[in-house]
Amino acid sequence: MDPAPLADAGVLDAGSGALPARGARPSHLRALIPFLALLALAVVLPLTDNDYYALIATRAAIYWVLISGLNLIVGFAGQLAIGYVALFALGAYTASVLAAGTVLPPAPVVLALAGGTAMGAASGVIVGLPALRLRTFYFAMTTLGFATIVTQVALGWQSVTGGGVGVAGPSLPAPFDTAWGLYYLCLGIAVLCTWMTANIARSRFGRALVATREAEVAAEAAGISKPALLVSVFLFAGAVAGLAGGLFASLQTYITPDAFTFDLSLLFFIAVLIGGRGSILGPLLGTIILTMLPEVAAPLAAWSTFVYAILVLVIVLAIPGGIAALLDFRSRRPLPRDRAILPHLGALGELLNADRAPVALALRGVALGFGGVRAIDGLDLDVSSGQVHGLIGPNGSGKTTTLNVISGYYAPQEGTLTAGAATLPSRMPSSRARHGIARTFQTPRIIGEATVLQNVMVGGTTIGQASFAEALLSLPRQLRDERRIEATARLALDAVGLGALADVRADRLQHSELRFVEIARALMLRPAFLLLDEPAAGLSPDEIKRLGALIRAISRRGVGVLLVEHHADLIFEICDEVTVLNLGRVLAHGTPAEIRAHKEVVSAYLGA
């Protein structure tokens, strides 16, 4: 098993999500030290020859098998899946029923465990489907409701599950039929799950999960399909939860519905919470702590729910980043205060393809209203390859609404949108990346806890060709994808002048730097059209000049740029054409010189 994915997962090094700098192999090894130390302790634990220790350690390993998958859902995707004890119970009962032969002839234990894993995977998708529509607490309630249903079915279906009496768990063959034999089996599976989840965390799928959690509209603009992504993750998380349930049934030797309590479900969820989102090391440590806590403080066992509630309050109020934030020493290093954004325009030659066939982005008769207000009223607009097209007008004139219609966030009530010969579908923002349309936003949509490099790599999600399964197992095509995406992201950062900040957490950057990070992320698509929504807002005069030069250089590489901006000087300096909107209608259209001389524009927008 290659340890590199663990070191590259961006969550091992203090859980910060920070990728190490190029060629920084020693930092990879340093990041592995906590995992190797935990593994060394786990391997030598049998030297104690204490079966009680074996029981507790095996339970911790089994819990981690489940939590490693749940961590992708809660810690990375940000879904409040509180009732995952349901999948744990389904895996346990399925494996036990198959092994006991209460429905079918008794199955070999390996097939019984495989059946529990398959049941967990299928149920994981079923439980996860509401996440595509429900948010936060509503989804949490759905998972808890599912857990209640599973418990009631286990109680009521006595002919199969034994009801309140229970059913015998699967018996493992030698050498796994002893306390320490089962421990080593569960430890090996836990190590495998750690490696696989680290592979996902390091892949475009892991970055996409975090992007959908922190900046969903930006993720969609980068071509990330949330439904397809979440289904894959729920399938994997459900499978490992079902497998963990089968192992738990074997550990317990006999299971009843009482074994799958709400407290156990809270333990799974809180282990991720106290570990820190976007981390693997943190939740792993959280799992170990919460498994040992009832044993160390046995008198508190009856107060477990109360103790968990106190833990949640302490984490939320005192250390919202969890254990991962406490271990994140890298983000505490000071940054230079006199740094400047100096775009390297020559890098655009490598990044963008100037030889692409020219196409046009065209809007014809587009109209959109909110209630009785026409935000856009019969808009005709053309953005040509290799040109900067300015879109200006007073506040409320429909500029950002126009960008949102082009981006697929709003569906026009009338009119058509085309990119070249292709008609752009409505309400499908993730499809725009396939048509070569990239954009930035009025307020930078950035993943604060990820590095600048990782933020930009999110924009290259559609570059990857490896499947989720290939990423899970770190197969060669996945490794090639990562090398290509990272190289492109570094090139994009060099182009916008932020190459030196690639490995810094994004939430430590200045506002002006975040503006350029968004542009770098958009350039990852090698777009045919770039939509910029007030990119100069909050920039200094010098930074605005550099921004203008960068936009101009991008357009000269064959990209059609649609620029919404309130800095009129920037518009008139770099634009080839300008369209002025007022109350959703085109007030004027022409060259910058023509717009400057247009009396109605001067009266309505530019002033005297």
What is the structure's pLDDT at 13? 39
Burial class (CB in 10 A: 0-12, 13-18, 19+), 100: buried
Q: Residue 45 and residue 57: Cα distance in Å, rounded?
A: 9
* The pLDDT of residue 406 is above 90: yes
Q: Given 270, 301, 331, which residue is the final one in a domain?
A: 331
Cβ contacts of residue 267 below 8 Å, gap of 6+?
63, 290, 291, 308
The identity of residue 393, as a single letter, is G
What is the structure's pLDDT at 368? 93
Query: Do 325 and 386 sit in the same domain of this protein?
Result: no
Per residue in 581-593, pLDDT (tens digit) is 988 899 999 999 9
Strand partners, 417: 363
Asked if 213 and 85 touch (Cβ cutoff 8 Å), the reply is: no
| Residue 339: pLDDT band with limits 50, 70, 90 | confident
Most confident of 80-89, 486-495, 595-604: 486-495
* The pLDDT of residue 22 is above 80: no
Is residue 419 included in any domain, yes or no? yes
Query: Do 281 and 147 sit in the same domain of this protein?
Result: yes
Q: Residue 290 and residue 271: Cα distance in Å, rounded?
A: 7
Structure tokens at 137: 């607490």
Query: Do 115 and 236 sit in the same domain of this protein?
Result: yes
Is residue 396 included in any domain, yes or no? yes
Query: Do 379 and 267 sit in the same domain of this protein?
Result: no
* The pLDDT of residue 331 is above 80: no
Cβ contacts of residue 539 below 8 Å, gap of 6+?
512, 515, 547
Lowest-confidence region among 62-71, 98-107, 310-319, 337-346: 310-319
Cβ contacts of residue 43 below 8 Å, gap of 6+?
187
Query: Do 323 and 382 sit in the same domain of this protein?
Result: no
Q: Residue 75 and residue 279: Cα distance in Å, rounded?
A: 7
For residues 321, 486, 193, 80, the Cα torsion angle rounded to the nearest 10 degrees is 40
Task: Find the radius of gyration of the CA atoms of the chain.
Answer: 27
Strands 585-590 and 373-384: unpaired
Per residue in 240-281, pLDDT (tens digit) is 999 999 999 999 998 999 889 888 888 899 899 888 888 899
Asked if 568 and 596 touch (Cβ cutoff 8 Å), the reply is: no
How high does pLDDT run on average in the chain?
88
- Assign residue 319 the CATH number of its domain: 1.10.3470
Query: Do 313 and 395 sit in the same domain of this protein?
Result: no
Please, what is the Cα angle at 123 between 233 and 184, to 5 degrees? 75
In degrees rounded to 5, what are phi and psi of residue 416?
-130, 155
Q: Given 267, 301, 331, which residue is the final one in a domain?
A: 331
**Closest Cα to residue 405, out of 388, 423, 427, 438?**
427
Domain count of the fold of the chain:
2
Is residue 514 included in any domain, yes or no? no
Structure tokens at 429: 């923002």
What is the structure's pLDDT at 325? 76
* The pLDDT of residue 20 is above 90: no
- Assign residue 586 the CATH number of its domain: 3.40.50.300
Lowest-confidence region among 52-56, 161-165, 364-368: 161-165
Whole domain around residue 417: which residue ranges? 375-436+539-608
Is residue 471 included in any domain, yes or no? no
* The pLDDT of residue 155 is above 80: yes
Query: Do 190 and 77 sit in the same domain of this protein?
Result: yes
Is residue 523 included in any domain, yes or no? no
Query: Do 288 and 399 sit in the same domain of this protein?
Result: no
Q: Residue 234 and residue 548: Cα distance in Å, rounded?
A: 44
For residues 523, 526, 529, 534, the Cα torsion angle rounded to the nearest 10 degrees is 0
| Residue 302: pLDDT band with limits 50, 70, 90 | low
Per residue in 503-524, pLDDT (tens digit) is 999 999 999 999 999 999 999 9
Q: Which residue has the higher pLDDT, 297 or 314?
A: 314
Is residue 475 included in any domain, yes or no? no
Is residue 100 included in any domain, yes or no? yes
| Residue 549: pLDDT band with limits 50, 70, 90 | very high
Structure tokens at 394: 């007073």
What is the structure's pLDDT at 484? 95
Q: Which residue has the higher pLDDT, 239 or 359?
A: 239
| Residue 11: pLDDT band with limits 50, 70, 90 | very low
Q: Tell me the mean pLDDT in the region 388-392.
A: 94
Q: Given 331, 361, 389, which residue is the final one in a domain?
A: 331
- Distances from the Cα of 88 to the Cα of 231, 311, 501, 537, angstroms: 18, 23, 43, 50
What is the structure's pLDDT at 301? 60
* The pLDDT of residue 457 is above 90: yes
SS3 sequence of 399-457 = HHHHHHHHHCCCCCCEEEEEECCEECCCCCHHHHHHHCEEECCCCCCCCCCCEHHHHHH
Q: Which residue has tokens 């309130």?
A: 566
Is residue 521 included in any domain, yes or no? no
Percent of all residues in the chain with a pLDDT value above 90, rounded to a whole number: 60
The identity of residue 63, as a single letter, is Y
Query: Do 46 and 134 sit in the same domain of this protein?
Result: yes
Query: Do 316 and 408 sit in the same domain of this protein?
Result: no
Per residue in 462-500, pLDDT (tens digit) is 999 999 999 999 999 999 999 999 999 999 999 999 999
Per residue in 92-149, pLDDT (tens digit) is 999 999 998 888 888 899 999 999 999 999 999 998 888 777 777 788 888 888 888 9
Query: Do 302 and 406 sit in the same domain of this protein?
Result: no
Query: Do 326 and 379 sit in the same domain of this protein?
Result: no
Asked if 187 and 200 touch (Cβ cutoff 8 Å), the reply is: no
SS3 sequence of 188-203 = HHHHHHHHHHHHHHHC
